[in-house]
C-alpha cells in the first residue's frame, strides 16, 4: 500500500476559512454566541477548545485501531470529557476569573460538535501527527471566529475593547494598570451611548449572520460552496446517526 503524503500546511490553514468550524461548517454556534460578548471571553473559550481538540485528536487517532466500531462514540466522549476536565482544572487554578466568566460553557466543551465531529470525521481515520495539526487548525479557526464576533459585540455593545485582559494574562504577564480600552466617556461627550443589543442574544445572532455572509462571499470568490444550514445532513456524525437511517428506511 502506497504511503499517503499529507500537506500539513493545508491541514493547518483549512480551518481558518475553507472549513472554518463556525462560519463555514456551522458547528459550535451555541458557545460562539454565548461566549463572544467580549474579546477576552472569546479568546479564552477558543484556547480552551483548541487544547481539547488537539489532545483528543491525538489520543483518538492513536487508539483508532483499538476502539471497537460500535463503541467509538461513547469512547470518544470519555476521552474528550477527560481532557475537558483537565483543561477546566488548569483554568480554575491559573485563571479563575476566566473560569467564572465562561461559567457552564467551559464544561460544556464536552458536547461541542466541533470536537466530536473532528474525532469522527478526521482523527479516527488519520495518523496522530496530522490529526494534531487538524485539531490545531480547527481550534485557530474557532478562536478567530469567536474573536471577530467578540470584537464587534464588545465594541458596539459595551463601548469597550479588550476589557478584562488582566483576567486572562495577569497570571503570566505584568500588565500594570492596563484593563482594556474604554470609549464610553468619549461617546458620552458627543451624546452617544453603546448599542446594548449587541451584547444580548439578538445582537449575537445578527453579528453571526453578518460574518457568515461575509465569509460566504469571500468563499464564493475563491470557488468554494456557500455554507448553508442543512439540518441533520450537515452534522459530521450524520453517516452513523440511527435517526437518519430510520428516516431513510421509511
pTM, to two decimals: 0.85
Could you tell me which residue, 72 or 239, shows the higher pLDDT? 72
At 172-182, the pLDDT tens digits run: 666 666 777 88
* C-alpha span between 164 and 35 (Å, rounded): 14
- Top mean pLDDT of 113-122, 179-188, 227-236 is at 113-122
- Whether the per-residue pLDDT at 169 is higher than 90: the answer is no
Q: Which residue has the cell 437518519?
A: 244
> HEC string of 171-191?
CCCCCCCCCCEECHHHHHHCC
Evaluate whether 181 touches 162 at the Cβ level (below 8 Å): yes
* C-alpha span between 160 and 154 (Å, rounded): 6
Return the pLDDT at 209: 92
- Whether the per-residue pLDDT at 1 is higher than 50: the answer is no
3-state SS class at 35: helix
Mean pLDDT value across the chain: 84
Rg (CA), the chain: 20
Domain boundaries, the chain: 8-249
* C-alpha span between 40 and 46 (Å, rounded): 10
* C-alpha span between 8 and 129 (Å, rounded): 9
Task: Give the N- to C-terminal CA distance of the chain in Å, as an integer.
Answer: 40
- Whether the per-residue pLDDT at 100 is higher than 90: the answer is no
Return the pLDDT at 139: 94
Amino acid at each position: 500500500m502506497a504511503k499517503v503524503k499529507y500537506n500539513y500546511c493545508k491541514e493547518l490553514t483549512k480551518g481558518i476559512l475553507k472549513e472554518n468550524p463556525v462560519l463555514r461548517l456551522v458547528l459550535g454556534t451555541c458557545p460562539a454566541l454565548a461566549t463572544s460578548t467580549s474579546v477576552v471571553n472569546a479568546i479564552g473559550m477558543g484556547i480552551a477548545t483548541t487544547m481539547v481538540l488537539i489532545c483528543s485528536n491525538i489520543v483518538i487517532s492513536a487508539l483508532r485501531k483499538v476502539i471497537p466500531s460500535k463503541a467509538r462514540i461513547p469512547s470518544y466522549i470519555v476521552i474528550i470529557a477527560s481532557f475537558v476536565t483537565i483543561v477546566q482544572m488548569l483554568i480554575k487554578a491559573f485563571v479563575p476569573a476566566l473560569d467564572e466568566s465562561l461559567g457552564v460553557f467551559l464544561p460544556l466543551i464536552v458536547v461541542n460538535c466541533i470536537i466530536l465531529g473532528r474525532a469522527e470525521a478526521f482523527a479516527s481515520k488519520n495518523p496522530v501527527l496530522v490529526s494534531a495539526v487538524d485539531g490545531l487548525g480547527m481550534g485557530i479557526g474557532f478562536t478567530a471566529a469567536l474573536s471577530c464576533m467578540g470584537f464587534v459585540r464588545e465594541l458596539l455593545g459595551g463601548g469597550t475593547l479588550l476589557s478584562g485582559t488582566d483576567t486572562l494574562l495577569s497570571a503570566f504577564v505584568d500588565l500594570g494598570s492596563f484593563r482594556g480600552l474604554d470609549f464610553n466617556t468619549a461617546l458620552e461627550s458627543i451624546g452617544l451611548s453603546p448599542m446594548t443589543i449587541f451584547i444580548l442574544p439578538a445582537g449575537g445572532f445578527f453579528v453571526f449572520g453578518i460574518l457568515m455572509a461575509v465569509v460566504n462571499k469571500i468563499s464564493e470568490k475563491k470557488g468554494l460552496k456557500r455554507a448553508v444550514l442543512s439540518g441533520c445532513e450537515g452534522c459530521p456524525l450524520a453517516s452513523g446517526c440511527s435517526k437518519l437511517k430510520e428516516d431513510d428506511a421509511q
